[in-house]
Amino acid sequence: MHELYLRAGHETRIRSGHLWVFSNELQSIPRLPPGSLVRVVSAEGESFGVGLYNPHSLICVRLLGTDEVTDLDVPFFAERLRHALQLRERICKGESMYRLVHGESDLLPGLVIDRYGNYCAVQTLSTGMDQRLPIIVEALRHVLPEIEGIVEKNHSHLRQLEQLPQRQGILYGQVPERFVLEEFGLRVELRLMEGQKTGAYLDQRYHRAVVGRMASGLRVLDCFTYHGGFALHAALHGAREVVGVDSSASALEAARRNAELNQLQAVQFVEADVFTFLGEQVAEGKQWDMVILDPPAFAKSRRHVPAAKRGYGEINRLALLLLPPGGYLVTSSCSHHVFEAVFLEVIFAEATRLKRRLRLLYRGTQPSDHPILLNMPETQYLKFFIFQVL
Ligand code: SAH
């Protein structure tokens, strides 16, 4: 196996368990085929294990967290998948939808697998993983023999960084055009061949249940509603009036179908840009008892952080203007680059400017099937808060 040497003084982060080696940390970038298995060694000769190489990516090596790997074959993936499944069977008991593999946090860098009942959606976000997709599918079928169909949802901006094409399709078996699963009492229609992410935003599912339970009798505005998640949980729990807003017409069609599926009448969906919509609501003097903000990642990289902070500031300010004393602000950010303390500062600054006192009722992050690898801060991305305006 080819050995790649780190430049002297560049081993601290990797020795502490981080799984990425950046191109500027290596003594040289050899002309090996992308996707090759390589061993990473310090300038003094200390081995940091093996990983997948891509000379064309800023993340040049993604380590697999162990020394023993010699071949990424079906038994290798089957073993890692079995470990991943064991954890989910423990922590997601009784749930039909969960994240089975969360990339680096499951020591499978660049691989994401979500389970939706007897179907799986797979994303390969690195060249090394992408090349091994057929092997991964075989291992997945081995570990989960009840799986009837596997789709690839490979349309992520992260693939562009690896020069991988955007792709979507069936990898194994058959997947119905649509099927229904349950999320904490709410029936949800899934169309794995359509939609954003791998189908549903599984990372907010416990938060949707928490918010739903709080919402009975309230007037609830769910911004960035996608398939109606928060809005429908609120309606299910007896919210008085619910409006969900999103700019995607196809997402809202799915939201309306989900409302019908659950026979929920007190909910309406509006196609609009949230920034504009909130501004109009403020201008009209409208009031809501609960405003939910679950925007897409505003900062996809570090250089977008200042603009992202302005965006978060703007929507949180407008939401606060719609809430009377006693109202609830449910607000989140999934931008890894905007750290929790920074996000809180932005909200605090807006509240202070508006002379509102906020009481923090609930603080959350991603659920345990999206584990955070302490050695890799990059694996932590979700921030979620429920505040009450005093
Ligand atoms: N709350 C959802 C997930 C939201 S994902 C859930 O729990 O399932 C983010 C959503 O924001 C996407 O549906 C996207 O279409 C929408 N979106 C992105 N930018 C927007 C904008 N400026 N105005 C309205 N919706 C927007």
Pocket mutation for ligand 1, best pick of 208, 222, 246, 292 (most atoms within 8 Å of C-beta): 246
To the nearest 5 percent, what fractions of the chain are helix, strand and coil?
Answer: 35, 25, 40
Query: What positions carry a catalytic annotation?
Result: 334
Alpha-carbon gap, residue 210 to 59, rounded angstroms: 37
Write the DSSP symbol of residue 299.
Answer: -
Q: Mean pLDDT, the chain, as a whole number?
A: 96
Structure tokens at 30: 């050899």
Given the candidates 3.30.70.260, 3.30.750.80, 3.20.20.60, 3.40.50.10740, the CATH classification of the domain at 74-176 is: 3.30.750.80
Q: Which atom of ligand 1 is nearest to the CA of 226?
A: 13
Alpha-carbon gap, residue 92 to 379, rounded angstroms: 20
Q: Where in the chain is the domain with CATH 3.40.50.150?
A: 201-389
Tell me the residue type at 76.
F
SS3 205: helix
Nearest CA, atom 7, ligand 1: 229
Nearest CA to 232 out of 185, 175, 272 is that of 185
* pLDDT at residue number 67: 75
Nearest CA, atom 3, ligand 1: 226
Confidence of residue 196 (pLDDT cuts 50, 70, 90): low
The answer to whether residues 234 and 220 touch, using CB atoms and an 8 Å cutoff, is: yes
pLDDT digits (tens, 9 = 90+) for 40-89: 999 999 999 999 999 999 999 999 988 788 899 999 999 999 999 999 99
- On whether the 201-389 domain is CATH 3.40.50.150, my answer is yes
CB crowding 231-265: b at 16 or more within 10 Å, else e? bbbbbbbebebbbbbbebeebbebbebbbeebebe
List pocket residues of ligand 1, CB cut-off 6 Å.
201, 204, 208, 224-227, 229-230, 246-248, 251, 273-275, 294-296
Nearest CA to 27 out of 13, 9, 12, 14 is that of 9
CA of 311 to the centre of ligand 1 (A): 14
Tell me the residue type at 218.
L
Structure tokens at 255: 């939201």
Tell me the residue type at 291.
V
CA of 76 to the centre of ligand 1 (A): 37
> How large is the average pLDDT for residues 310-321?
98
Tell me the residue type at 36.
S
pLDDT digits (tens, 9 = 90+) for 337-379: 999 999 999 999 999 999 999 999 999 999 999 999 999 999 9
Nearest CA, atom 10, ligand 1: 224
| CATH number of the domain located at residue range(s) 2-63 in this protein | 2.30.130.10
Using only C-alpha atoms, what is the Rg of the chain? 22
CA of 224 to the centre of ligand 1 (A): 3
Q: Which atom of ligand 1 is nearest to the CA of 294?
A: 1
Alpha-carbon gap, residue 76 to 349, rounded angstroms: 49
* pLDDT at residue number 66: 80
CA of 227 to the centre of ligand 1 (A): 9
> How large is the average pLDDT for residues 220-244?
98
Q: How are beta strands 241-246 and 149-154 bridged, if at all?
A: unpaired
Alpha-carbon gap, residue 285 to 317, rounded angstroms: 14
Alpha-carbon gap, residue 93 to 227, rounded angstroms: 24
* pLDDT at residue number 197: 65
Q: Where in the chain is the domain with CATH 2.30.130.10?
A: 2-63
Q: Which helix or strand (DSSP H or E) is residue 180 part of?
A: strand 179-183
